[in-house]
Amino acid sequence: MADGADGGRSDGAGNGAAGDGVVDPTARVTYTGAGLDDDAPLWRGSPPAPLGLLERWYAEVAADGRVTEPGAVVLATVDDAGDPDARTVLLKGLDARGAVVYTNLGSAKARQLAAHPRAALVLPWQEVSRQVRLRGRVEPTTREESAAYFASRPRGSQVAAWASEQSRPVADRAELEARVTALEERFAGGDVPLPPGWGGLRVLVTEVELWAGRPSRLHDRARWTSRSGGPARLDDAGAWRLERLQP
C-alpha cells in the first residue's frame, strides 16, 4: 500500500490493522550525512568524470568503520522469462573500465548474464547515508585476470570454489564438507589452481548515480549517463552527461 493510501483495517490473513507485523511503516531514519552540495566543483564548470568521486566515496566508506563490508554490492539480473533476480555479492574491482565481481560461471547469476549481458549494481551504504548505482553491459574478465585474483584468495576459499557447484541442490552440508576434505587431500602440498568454471564478470558502465541522504527526504542525486548510450570509460569526462536529479 502506497504511503498516504487508505489505512483501514485488514480482514485478510492476520485480521490486524494495516501495518501490523514485522514491518513498522512509521519507522523513520533522519539522514544527516554530507550531501553533494559539499562537492561544489561537481556542479561548476565542465562536469568531471565519475571515477574520481566514486573512488573517493569508496575510500571514505572503507576508512569510516561503520560499514563493515564496503564492497558488498547488490547485483541485479534477469532470467530467461524476463523476471528480475538480485543477490548480494562482493565488488572486487573498480577502475576506468568498470566494476568486477567473481563467481562460479555455472551459477544462476553467471548463466543469466551469459544469456542477457546487462546488469545493475547497488552499493547500499546506509550507515553513512550514501548509495552508488551502476548500470551497464557485462563481459567476462580474461582468464589471466581471474587467475590473478583467485591466487590472492585464502586457501580455504580456493578449495570451496572447487567444492561448490553453485546454485545446484545438495543433500546436506555433510556432502559439501566431504568434497572439501577430498579436495584438500588432492591439493595437499601445492597451489590450488583456478577452477575451469570460475571467473570474473565486468560491468562496462553506461550509467552512474550517486545518492546522498539529506534531512526531510530532500536527498541529493547526481547521475552520469553515457553520451553514446553504450559503455564508456569512467575516467573520460567528455564521454558523460551529468545531471542533478530530484529525490
Q: What is the DSSP string of 182-231?
A: HHHHHTTTSPPPPPTTEEEEEEEEEEEEEEE--GGG--EEEEEEETTSS-
The response to whether 31 counts as a known ligand-binding position is: no
90 known member of a binding site? yes
Residues in the chain: 247
Rounded (10°) CA dihedral 131, 246, 217, 27: -70
The pLDDT value recorded for residue 36 is 87
In one-letter notation, the amino acid at residue 58 is Y
pLDDT of residue 12: 43
Helical segments of the chain, H only? 50-64, 108-115, 143-152, 155-163, 173-186
Rounded percentage of the chain residues whose pLDDT exceeds 70: 91
State the sign of the Cα–Cα–Cα–Cα dihedral 126, 88, 142, 113. negative
Q: Which of 61, 26, 29 is nearest to 217 (CA)?
A: 29
Phi, psi of 36 (to 5 degrees): -75, -10
5 assigned to some structural domain: no
Within-domain flag for 157 = yes
The answer to whether residue 205 sits within a structural domain is: yes
125 is in an annotated binding site: no
Comparing C-alpha atoms, which of 118, 115, 122 is closest to residue 138? Answer: 118
The pLDDT of residue 193 is: 98
**Residue 167 annotated as lining a ligand binding site:** yes
Number of domains in the chain: 1
- Measured from the Cβ of residue 196, the count of other Cβ atoms closer than 10 Å reads 9
CA–CA distance, 236 with 42 (Å, rounded to integer): 15
For residue 231, the Cα-to-chain-centroid distance in whole angstroms is 18
The CATH number assigned to the domain holding 203 equals 2.30.110.10
In the numeric block, which cell numbers belong to residue 215? 534531512
Question: Residue 30: what pLDDT?
Answer: 86
**How deeply is 220 buried, as exposed, middle or buried, from its count of CB atoms within 10 A (0-12, 13-18, 19+)?**
buried
CB neighbours of 155 closer than 8 A, spacing ≥ 6? 192
5-14, 100-109, 199-208: segment of lowest average pLDDT:
5-14
Quote the domain boundaries for residue 189: 36-245
134 is annotated as contributing to ligand binding: no
C-alpha cell at 123: 552499493
Q: Does 218 appear as a known binding residue? A: yes
Which residues are designated catalytic? 217
Distance CA 89, CA 113 (A): 14
20 located within any domain: no
Eight-state DSSP code of residue 84: E
As a whole number, the mean pLDDT across the chain is: 91
The DSSP symbol for 80 reads: T
Please indicate if the annotation marks 201 as binding a ligand.
no
Q: What is the pLDDT of residues 214-245, one digit of tens each?
A: 999 999 999 999 999 999 999 999 999 999 99
